[in-house]
């Protein structure tokens, strides 16, 4: 299907970024929100991205105005009457998303694709609010959308092959890397990333290391930023909600630290509120108090911290994703490289596992399980691989054929 015009619902940081990306590709796009104030803020955010490009000499002021002319602000559903695709980018509230999709279903042309930018909610559940579930799909951008290269494209239970083909082509036309991901809670990248973030919080809560020490260690490992800096930028409210979805879906291995619950309850969401794991204004950080409370309530004792304590749970979850056919090994590595900044020098998450040895990863998980419990319960696939001698580079076969 040819796409000549797009729409975006939600003019916040994510929606405005998506609208900017679409306009940069040369497509006209309608950016809608509930009030003119929100729409104007979204348009200003898109303009700011272009202004940064002008300052860097990557485009002229005239080209900036040409691109901005492609974005139309709106507060009316009527402006979606001639779009070919709409991307919803509102908060992670299933009832709200279903309400929006019901409205889109009424106003959009019959051929239009209705896409959700949800990071963890069920595409199939959202599609149930429409009379065209075959044309509903997940198109998940990563924050910030103008910068991050990855898009996860997720079919629901009734998404048609034609819708998937058009959605993948559309995503690639935005100069992005589009990866098809089987529908599951958390999809792919968030499902792999949350164990990494979660374990960092557990290590901090135990007193195994400070937030800065953990962040510095992971940057030294090769990550673009540490887990606490990342969580503060993503928003601890987003991490909290995604974490709850994953815990409900995957049980004890996805259970969040009580420290995260305390930060969320105190509305310490990170950079957006001025305080999270770090403080971004002149207030006194409540983190030391929360750490004392957690240690008293849980009776945790000081553990130890190594980068492997954060990386191995990601490899373990990737193995679960392979068992469930969520994505291929290649797509997992591409997604981690493009979606999280996993160090390219290590080749990708599963390439890294092959390098250190699948047997070493399994042994590490078992050791961590003996210390910290069910969060580190190894995926059965890892045991089968080690039993078959598929241990990675030294065995010339692992997640990839290394012959």
Residues annotated as catalytic are: 152
Residues pairing with 397 in the sheet: 392, 401
Side-by-side strand order, sheet with 177-180: 71-74, 29-32, 6-9, 85-88, 113-116, 136-141, 150-155, 177-180
Structure tokens at 108: 């959009």
Q: In terms of Cα–Cα distance, which of 61, 142, 77, 146 is closest to 114? A: 77
How remote is the C-alpha of 62 from its chain's centroid? 34
SS3 (DSSP) at 316: helix
SS3 (DSSP) at 9: strand
Q: In terms of Cα–Cα distance, which of 388, 398, 317, 306 is closest to 352? A: 398
SS3 (DSSP) at 91: coil
How remote is the C-alpha of 345 from its chain's centroid? 22
Tell me, what DSSP letter sits at residue 275? B
SS3 (DSSP) at 72: strand
Enclosing H/E stretch for 325: none
Burial class of residue 14, CB neighbours in 10 A (0-12, 13-18, 19+)? buried
Residues 5 and 173: their CA atoms lie apart, in Å, by 13
Q: Which residue has the tokens 């529908």?
A: 183
**Residues 6+ away with beta carbon under 8 Å from 21:** 141, 145, 146, 174, 176
Cα→Cα distances 390→9, 35, 317, 356, 367, Å: 47, 57, 18, 13, 20
CA dihedral 228, 233, 238, 244 (to 10 degrees): -10
Residues 40 and 332: their CA atoms lie apart, in Å, by 37
């Amino acid at each position: 299907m040819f796409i000549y015009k797009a729409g975006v619902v939600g003019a916040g940081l994510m929606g405005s970024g998506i609208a900017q990306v679409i306009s940069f590709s040369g497509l006209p796009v309608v950016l809608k929100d509930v009030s003119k104030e929100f729409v104007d803020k979204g348009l200003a955010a898109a303009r700011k991205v272009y202004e940064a490009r002008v300052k860097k000499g990557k485009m002229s002021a005239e080209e900036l105005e040409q691109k901005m002319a492609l974005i139309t602000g709106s507060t009316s559903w009527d402006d979606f009457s001639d779009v070919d695709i709409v991307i919803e980018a509102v908060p992670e509230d299933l009832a709200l998303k279903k309400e929006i999709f019901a409205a889109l279903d009424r106003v959009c042309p019959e051929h239009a694709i209705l896409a959700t930018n949800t990071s963890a909610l069920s595409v199939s559940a959202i599609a149930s609010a429409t009379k065209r579930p075959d044309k509903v799909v997940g198109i998940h951008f990563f924050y910030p959308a103008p910068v991050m290269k990855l898009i996860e494209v997720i079919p629901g239970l009734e998404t048609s092959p034609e819708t998937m083909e058009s959605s993948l082509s559309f995503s690639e036309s935005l100069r992005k890397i589009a990866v098809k991901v089987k529908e599951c809670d958390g999809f792919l990248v968030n499902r792999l990333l949350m164990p990494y973030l979660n374990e960092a919080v557990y290590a901090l809560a135990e007193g195994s290391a400070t937030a800065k020490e953990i962040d510095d260690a992971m940057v030294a490992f090769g990550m673009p930023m540490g887990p606490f800096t990342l969580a503060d930028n993503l928003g601890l409210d987003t991490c909290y909600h995604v974490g709850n979805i994953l815990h409900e879906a995957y049980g004890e291995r996805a259970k969040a630290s009580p420290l995260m619950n305390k930060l969320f309850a105190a509305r310490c969401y990170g950079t957006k509120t001025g305080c999270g794991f770090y403080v971004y204004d002149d207030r006194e950080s409540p983190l030391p108090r929360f750490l004392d409370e957690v240690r008293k309530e849980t009776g945790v004792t000081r553990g130890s911290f190594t980068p492997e304590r954060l990386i191995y749970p990601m490899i373990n979850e990737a193995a679960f994703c392979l068992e469930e056919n969520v994505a291929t090994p290649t797509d997992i590595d591409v997604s981690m490289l493009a979606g999280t900044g996993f160090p390219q020098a290590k080749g990708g998450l599963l390439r890294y596992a092959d390098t250190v040895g699948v047997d070493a990863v399994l042994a590490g998980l078992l050791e961590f399980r003996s210390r910290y419990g069910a969060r580190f319960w190894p995926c059965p696939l890892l045991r089968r691989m080690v039993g078959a001698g598929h241990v990675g580079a030294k065995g010339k076969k692992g997640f990839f054929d290394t012959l």
